[in-house]
Structure 1
Amino acid sequence: MAAATAQPMGNLPSGIGICTTAPDIFYLPELVFGGLVWILVASTRVTPENPQGWVMFVSVFCFVMTFLWLIIFACGGHKNSGRWAAADFAYHGLAALFYLSASVPLATTTISMRDVNFTYYQIDIAAVVFSYTATLFYFIHCILSAIRWKSF
């Protein structure tokens, strides 16, 4: 009787399986758009360095951590543990919060530099768009990771 009412355990993919499962398929877009933010912000010179420094920290930190997370999941280092599912949810929630906290000052700084240097302005507009897109990917990954975590 107990076997009929048991809930199915969640499953953390490894190997090529991370390219086919719902939350883990977002690793590559997160890396691509985060890397683009990093490159675009690094290629401009803006007078208020403080918001740009935070954007650089967030983009580099999230790029490196997402790459490490991808490698851990691809190698199966999580050993299908519920704690890794919780950590996956927590990391992507933190990354979404970080990117949101970096995207808003980046957009504000970009709007204020409209008349200073048009080339840098266009580059920063692209960085703002990619930053908000990365935020969206991390947020979707966070929601799907929470759903997966609840299945453990």
Structure 2
Amino acid sequence: MASNTHTMESLPSGLRVCCTIPDILYLPELVFGGLVWILVACTLVVPQNPQGWVMFVSVFCFVVTFLWMLMFACGCHSNKSSWAAADFVYHFIAAVFYLSASVALAKVTLDMRDGVDFQNYQLDISAVVFSYTATLLYFVHTILSAIRWKSF
């Protein structure tokens, strides 16, 4: 129990990024975000506007999460409270972005249910499931990052 408390009080670096809470969530966030990106890119983009927002969110969050994880892994931070706060703020923004993208994607998918292209409909359903999963991961990461930030 003491080692778990210790991991929440300090910012990890190196390989500890892959085995500390909440930073262990970086990898599933990347996987599910990448799946959303791939599935939306494979579907017919009608209407363009909500699907464009979903693509922006998935690509933006994938790239920034990857860079953020690399910064932590390389030790670019110096265990300061400002890095913990920035981690909380980023994951909060990503959770809100993904929630808005998930709702838009779900709406587009519901509108497609009576369409003729069943394969695009199935891909969109998968993208909606993965998008809400990514939203949940970012939300949990936000809560755990806030707890870590407040423990400094």
TM-score where L is the length of structure 2: 0.93
Residue 139 of structure 2 corresponds to residue 142 of structure 1:
no
* AA of the residue aligned to 2:131: S
* AA of the residue aligned to 1:126: S
The offset of 1:19, in angstroms, is 1.2
The offset of 1:125, in angstroms, is 0.1
Residue 17 of structure 2 corresponds to residue 18 of structure 1:
yes
CA distance in 1, matches of 2:42, 2:13: 36
CA distance in 2, matches of 1:62, 1:21: 21
Match of 1:127 in 2: 127
> Aligned with 2:72: secondary structure?
helix
TM-score where L is the length of structure 1: 0.93
The offset of 1:10, in angstroms, is 2.8
Runs of 4+ in 1 over 3 A off after TM superposition: none
The offset of 1:103, in angstroms, is 0.3
CA distance in 2, matches of 1:110, 1:10: 42
The offset of 1:96, in angstroms, is 0.2
Match of 1:113 in 2: 112
Identity across the alignment (%) = 72
CA distance in 2, matches of 1:122, 1:78: 42
> Aligned with 1:13: secondary structure?
coil
The offset of 1:46, in angstroms, is 2.9
